[in-house]
Structure 1
Amino acid sequence: MYFRLTLPSVTDNNRLSPGDTAPNFTLPDADGNHVSLSDYRGRKVIVYFYPAASTPGCTKQACDFRDNLAELNEAGLDIVGISPDKPEKLAKFRDKEELNFPLLSDPSKETLTAWGAFGEKKMYGKVVQGVIRSTFLINENGAVEQAQYNVRATGHVAKLRRDLDV
């Protein structure tokens, strides 16, 4: 018996909205350990999608989460970053930048697509297929509380903290 996962194409209509159930995932972290969204059931979690480890914008964003992690954790929020990078690259990124939260690998882009974080975007005036920098707040029951697409790498964590009153 064969099962096939059918994912919708990414358009604005397929993006997640507050109240939606967050699509579950099980992905390897930087050490190859499997991490699932369901592991965070009972806690709030910020899931953010970024294009590529060790690039300037993604490094800035990850370091902002690192530098604000204590306050976010005190407010009952965990952080998970997801990119299409392989675990080995994520491990180097984590170690170099001393990141203290899970980085997950989605090279097939299935999770990125299911969350509406992969598809057409404008880059330097051209339309390309790629990772759409996105951030989601998932509540204790696995529902989307906030869905933010096309976020800026710089200043995003500060804005998120203001929005969440953290």
Structure 2
Amino acid sequence: MVGVGDSAPDFNLPDTLGKKHKLSDFKGKRVLLSFNRYAACPVCLYTLDRMREQADYLRERGIFIICIFASKANSIARWVESQEKSPFLLLSDKEMVTYKRFKSRYSWKKANAAGIWVLKAKKELNDRGISFSVKQVPLTKPKPVYVVPSDFLIDENGKIADAYHSVKFQDMMSWERIEAFIPKNMRCKCNGKDCLSTECRVNYKEIMAEAENMFAYDDEDDE
């Protein structure tokens, strides 16, 4: 298992235009590295939609977001960029080599629960502009379907500062953990009620509770 304190494995992956990027290119910078399923995955598009709202805030504070998909670059361009207008780096790892290096986990139960979640949240997904098609599920290659999404915070020296493997497929690393990764001298103190910072926005807990309830479903048996 690749965990906190370990050196993050390097990679050399193409973006949607074919340009190769290495993790080592970001040495000296802080990175949020996010592993997703396949490009047309509505659960991944939902989490990216939430992350998009935070991207500028994090970039202004020295944290760069890199999202990896187990799909071809043209599929990422079609499904992710066309819907999300992503302000972060999108990379293709269709052979899932980097997933292996970061010891990605797999779960049939969680994938099945994610499918139920998508059906229940269809209206909310459509309201967010997220479309999807069952025909795009890569059933001939089940690994991209069963892979558990994960997030890694990587420091300036290429060390893993924090790691999170989703409990539910629509989860991502909590905003509190990501915000704690911001250098202390760059943390916001504006006290604005609409600020993304949990320190500034007094109604943050209420907003998070509402978001949790919005897409809740009964998954007591999903271990």
Q: Is TM (by shorter chain) over 0.5?
A: yes
Q: Deviations over 1:77-119 (max 9, x none)?
A: 10000111100011112133211111111111110111012x4
Matched, 1:24 2:24: no
- When normalised by structure 2's length, the TM-score is 0.61
The match for 1:56 among 42, 57, 65 is 42
Distance in 2, matches of 1:120 and 1:47, equals 18
Partner of residue 105, structure 1: 92
Structure 2, unmatched stretches of 5+, are: 114-141, 181-196, 198-223
Partner of residue 4, structure 1: none
Determine helix, strand or coil for the equivalent of 1:47: strand
Deviation at 1:58, TM superposition (A): 0.6
C-alpha distance 64-153 of structure 1, shift in aligned 2 (>3 A): farther
Distance in 2, matches of 1:34 and 1:64, equals 26
The match for 2:149 among 105, 119, 133 is 133
Q: Deviations over 1:114-139 (max 9, x none)?
A: 1012x4323238xx743221000000
Runs of 4+ in structure 1 over 3 Å off:
151-155
> Structure 1 or 2: larger helix share?
2
Matched, 1:162 2:149: no
Partner of residue 212, structure 2: none
C-alpha distance 18-76 of structure 1, shift in aligned 2 (>3 A): same
Distance in 1, matches of 2:9 and 2:56, equals 27
> Structure 1 or 2: larger strand share?
1
Identity of aligned pairs, percent?
29
1:1-166 matches, within 5 Å, as 15-92=1-78, 93-117=80-104, 119-123=105-109, 124=112, 129=143, 130-152=146-168, 154=170, 156=172, 159=174, 161-163=175-177, 164-165=179-180, 166=197
Determine helix, strand or coil for the equivalent of 1:120: coil
Distance in 1, matches of 2:71 and 2:96, equals 10
The structure with the largest alpha-carbon Rg is: 2
**Paired letter, 1:144:** I
**Paired letter, 2:70:** P
- When normalised by structure 1's length, the TM-score is 0.80
**Paired letter, 2:89:** P
Distance in 2, matches of 1:32 and 1:103, equals 11
Deviation at 1:75, TM superposition (A): 2.3
Distance in 2, matches of 1:30 and 1:57, equals 20
